Structures are given as C-alpha cells and as structure tokens.
Amino acid sequence: MLEVKKAVIPVAGFGTRFLPATKATPKEMMPIVDKPIIQYIVEEAVSAGIETIIFVTGRHKRAIEDHFDYAPDLEYALEKSGKEELLKIIREISDMANFVYIRQKEQLGLGHAILTAERVVGNEPFAVLLGDELIINPVNPGIGQLIEIYKKFGKSVIGTTEVPKEEVYKYGIIDGAKIEDGVRLVNYLVEKPEPHEAPSTSAIIGRYVLTPSIFDALKRTPFGKGGELQLTDALMMLRKEEAIYAKDIEGRRFDTGNKYGYLEAIVNFALTREDTKDYMKQLITNLVKEIESQSEV
C-alpha cells in the first residue's frame, strides 16, 4: 500500500467573511496570536508524516508563498541583531516540507480545486486539509488519525464530528454503518442539506485522505450546490465504486472561517500558551470587573 506523503491545501478563496481584513491579505494569513492560520494547518500535516504540501492558490495569495519561502533579508537582520531564537523559528517554517503551488484559474468549487492538483498528486493517496478549521490534538494530529484508518483499509477516509441539527446546512453530512468506535463505513453523503433533509448530524470537518480514484469521480460529477463542483458529490459518486470510511476526529476544533470561531481560537490559544496565559487571564479578569463596575453606575 502506498503511503500518504502529499497534502493538498486549497487556498484560493476570497475570504469575504473577513472583509475588510482580507481585501489585500489572504484569510489564511490571519494570525492566531502570532502565527498565521495556514502555518498551524501545515504543521498538522507535517507532524502526521506529510512531506509535500500542494497549495491550490489564486490571485492575491503571494503572501502564502512568501511565508513558506526563505527570507534572506529578514534572516540577515535577525542574525545581525543577535535574535537567534527568532531566526530559528523563521528558518524552520521554510524547511518544514516541500511546497508546491498550483493556480486555480477559475473558482469553481472545492471539487474543482482538488481536481486542479491531479497532475502534481499523481497516482497515489493524498491528504486534503481545509484552512477554515483548526484541529488541535498535540498527541495525535487530526489528519494523522485519518491516515491511521487509511493504513488499515487502504480506502478514502473522511474526518467528521457531531454538530447540532440546526447547523447541518453549513457542512457536508455523512451517514454510515459503525464498524468500530468512531469509525463508519459511509453509505450516503450530502452537501449542506436543510436540517429536515439531513440523514444524520455527522459533519465533514475539512480533513480527508483520498485515493487517486477521486479524480476520475470528480470529472464525472455534475456541478452541485451553489453551482460549484462539490467534493462531497464526487465522494458520493466514488462510494458506489469503492468503500469510503468516516472517522470522528478527536481534538479541539475551531471554525476559524467565521468571526466567532476565529475569536474563540485566539482567546483559547492566548489562555493556554505559556508566554501569554498569565497576561490573558489577568486581562480578561480586569475587563470583566471594569464592565461590571460600569454597569453598576
């Protein structure tokens, strides 16, 4: 069985939910404390054994390429001023993996973004990580949990989690038969159903391991929800030809694709990181006191 060594990360989207911040800056570069979201995603992939990161990118995304490249002028300045610690952090970013960039010339949906990567992926299984979801599991990275299941069955694996019924319309929803704890054999998938159409509350959360047969399925898939080529629809097509598994991902999940999830991630990281946690606790305590005393006046 071929190992999963490549990951596709689609980053061509506009980020309209974060305008005006994303007018000239990619949404993937927005920081959680002091690290851009996209770096957390790449780190998750690398810690699960991924060696090549394939970004499917678009216009105005140059900052992502620069972030994962060497920065000789910055490195020189850091070296000269003796900032060894920072220099190390900066160098490590570009040495983490091989980075490949493909331009998605038209934005025709997630399925289309994955299809754009076909020639670079070739005939081997690959991971997909979507930048809108941060999954934090220091022991067992989210995508690594799917790779483990792939190693067992040699078929595609979709990362899932339970969501409230009223939120199913935001996600691809799967239904399947339980085969072991947290793992199901998928028998149905639907992209962003209304609550009354949803077969379950098991939502796809932006992590996949796919066999290369997904490319052929994508080519046969008609455009779906929102007039876009949907990966979920192609998986439904593929499911008629080969088995697909779903795995509930263990870890803390932040939906950084919307303002509330993004704020939650920042506060959470600031409250747990060694260098910021004391400051952040104090800050929140003081702010709450201040607001309470104002409302008493």
> Of the candidates 104, 143, 128, 93, which has an alpha carbon nearest to the alpha carbon of residue 250?
143
Smaller CB separation from ligand G1P, 93 or 110: 110
Site string for ligand G1P, 201-220 (x = CB under 6 A): --xxxx--------------
9 scored as a contact of ligand G1P (CB under 6 A): no
Smaller CB separation from ligand G1P, 113 or 280: 113
Site string for ligand G1P, 228-247 (x = CB under 6 A): --xxx---------------
- Nearest-10 crossing angle of helices 84-95, 72-80: 160
- The CA distance from 252 to 108, in Å, is 30
Q: Which stretch binds ligand G1P (CB under 6 A): 59-67, 74-82, 137-145, 225-233?
A: 225-233
Closest distance of CB 198 from ligand G1P, Å = 12
The beta-carbon contacts of 263-269 under 8 Å, at least 24 apart in sequence, are: 265/32, 265/134, 266/32, 266/33, 269/32, 269/33
Q: By CB under 6 A, how many residues form the interface with ligand G1P? A: 14
Smaller CB separation from ligand G1P, 26 or 172: 172
Q: Is the dihedral of CA 162, 168, 170, 172 positive or negative?
A: positive
CB atoms within 10 A of CB 111: 24
Of the candidate residues 12, 110, 134, 280, the single one contacting ligand G1P (CB under 6 A): 110
φ, ψ at 77 (rounded to 5°):
-65, -40
Binding stretches for ligand G1P (CB under 6 A): 110, 130, 132-133, 171-172, 191, 203-206, 230-232
